[in-house]
Amino acid sequence: MNDLISTISFMFLDGIIWGFVIALIALGLSLIFGIMGIVNMAHGDIFMIGAVLALVLGGLLGSFWPALIVVPLLVGICALPVERWILRPYEGKPLTTMVATIGVSFIIQQVTLMVFGGEPHMVHEPIQFTIPLFGVAYSGYRVFAAVIGIVCIALLWLGLHRTSFGIYIRATMEQPEMADAIGINTSLIRAVTFGIGAGMAAFGGVLAAPIHKVFYLMGADVILFSFIVVIVGGLGNLAGTLVAALLLSGIEGVLCVFFEPINARVLILLLMALVVVFRPRGLFSA
């Protein structure tokens, strides 16, 4: 019994630690939907691009660390023309944006496959130490990735609540017509917000590169779980998205003690379905 409790506790904490990386991706997804009404089906592939670029940049420079800064900035800047020339005509039309971003997703995957190939690669952990956790030598890098995720989430919160630009973003999310009426450049806000959301997904990919195998389809699993998180947390609800990311990641970790990982994910999907039935706007919606 004690061994079972230790195993459950370990898997729950492991899920929570991974949940901070998932939260980065899901918060970017929720931010984009909340301000533009875009259902970004390519968000998982942006995560994948972040991991691939971390692999490439690490090989070129011989160090993983520059990727933490360079890759999110590069991906965020590259996302701006996608928002301007592909998605802007369809903003506020979720079904249409789903079709458009599915096309973007296929393009990203196929270009990545052609350029980098389909063989999975591993990025070595840039810091190698272990932490004793319920009798297991736990990877210190995973804890480091979670801490970095916490710092980034805190910076996002400070940016949204303690800066003028953050106030403009929240105003555009909550009252877009009023924001336009008082002179806020909502067009610029939407473009920059899309870049921030894409940069967050890429940053999550950089952090995940030493944890998961890097290959052109690695975003498929992440985008599914991120959508579950956003739906359970409440569409456009950033605080709810964060709580849902940690809670669902921990629950899935515990379920993996008793079921195969694929069956644990099915149970998480069923949980999402129950939330949609009884709380269509998410567990944490007002």
Comparison of pLDDT for 235 and 222, the residue scoring more: 222
> Between helices 94-116 and 43-61, what is the axis angle to 10°?
30
Q: What is the pLDDT averaged over residues 87-113?
A: 90
pLDDT digits (tens, 9 = 90+) for 35-89: 888 889 999 999 999 999 999 999 898 899 999 999 999 999 999 999 988 888 8
- Residue 132 burial (10 A CB sphere; 0-12, 13-18, 19+): exposed
When pLDDT is cut at 50, 70 and 90, the band that residue 223 belongs to is very high
Q: From 64, 6, 5, 18, select the one nearest 246 (Cα to Cα).
A: 18
pLDDT digits (tens, 9 = 90+) for 119-162: 899 898 999 888 888 778 888 999 999 999 999 999 999 998 89
- pLDDT, residue 1, reads 57
Which structure tokens are listed for 227? 């959508």
Question: Other C-beta atoms within 10 Å of 149: how many?
Answer: 24
Residue 85 CA to chain centroid, in angstroms? 23
- pLDDT, residue 128, reads 87
State the Cα–Cα distance between residues 11 and 48, nearest whole angstrom.
25
- Give the type of residue at 94: P
Residue 230 CA to chain centroid, in angstroms? 10
278 pLDDT above the threshold of 90: no
- Overall pTM > 0.85: yes
Q: Are strands 136-139 and 130-133 parallel, antiparallel or unpaired?
A: antiparallel
